[in-house]
Structure 1
Amino acid sequence: METYNRDRHLHGVEEYEEQVHQSTGRDFTVGLAVGLIVGTVGGLLLAPKSGDALRDDISEQTQKLSEGLNSETGGGQGGLKEKAQEKKEELSNKVNETKDEIKAKKGEQEEKQRVKSLDESAVKAQKDAIQEEVQEPGRDDVRTVDVSKFEETLDGDKK
């Protein structure tokens, strides 16, 4: 027997499955955190210490925590400003180094391009010179060569 699910009918299967998958992990994490906090507070309040002793313990732990935070940050707002300034300087140095590297790479690419163009122009000049040497007077096509004159010299070399 098939059951009727109103949510699937109204919202579509994909939307329903997406909602189920998204809410499961997040809801579990939030519930776990809230449960831990409530359990900790409840355990402290239900401990067999007197109220004065519990308050003293809580105030000591709070002072230790605040002293630890102040020592890590360098003594409050001044320490935070100094750290922010240091991070800003580090970041600007890194940016400048990156700019220099990019400029160097760009210069290398331009030099490679210049050498390549020089090589191409030198090769073209050599081709033109060879074609001028090969070209005989009265010939229109430089790709054809009269081989008969070479045959005469070869026959003369054999004798």
Structure 2
Amino acid sequence: MDLLKQPYKIFLVDDDEDDCFLTSKVMSNLAPCVDVDCIYRGDKMLQRLEVCDPADYPRLILLDLNMPILSGFEVLVRLKQHRLWRAIPVVIFTTSSDKRDEARSYELGANLFLTKPSQLKEMEALFYRYKDAMRSPVQN
């Protein structure tokens, strides 16, 4: 079965509404069955996960680094420290091209680091790279 035809949810955590809109559009063009949930602050995304049933966790989190209240790094640390959330693949999706940000992201447990704006081919590659993680729900 083709991954891009199976329904699944992605959390896009980014305080820039324009970036959220454009990224959501690219993803919906690639895979109309993908439900992209834009959340504009990292603390709000963590609150959503706290009340979410594990069966309804997103299959992927796209996370910006530069946000108010909690930075993407702080959010990533909290995700990877949580017993249930650590299995959710996290892609850092940021305007930063600083190699130190990239290295720190990987040290903290990010699965991939992409610099915005990303090309369409990179977004397609992202879906295929995490097809196994997105195909099955997060395991407890």
Structures share fold, TM-score greater than 0.5: no
* TM-score of Structure 1 vs Structure 2, range by shorter chain: under 0.3
TM-score of the superposition, structure 2-length normalised? 0.17
TM-score of the superposition, structure 1-length normalised? 0.16
More strand by share: 2
Pick 1 or 2: higher relative contact order, CA cutoff 8 A, min separation 6: 2
More helix by share: 1
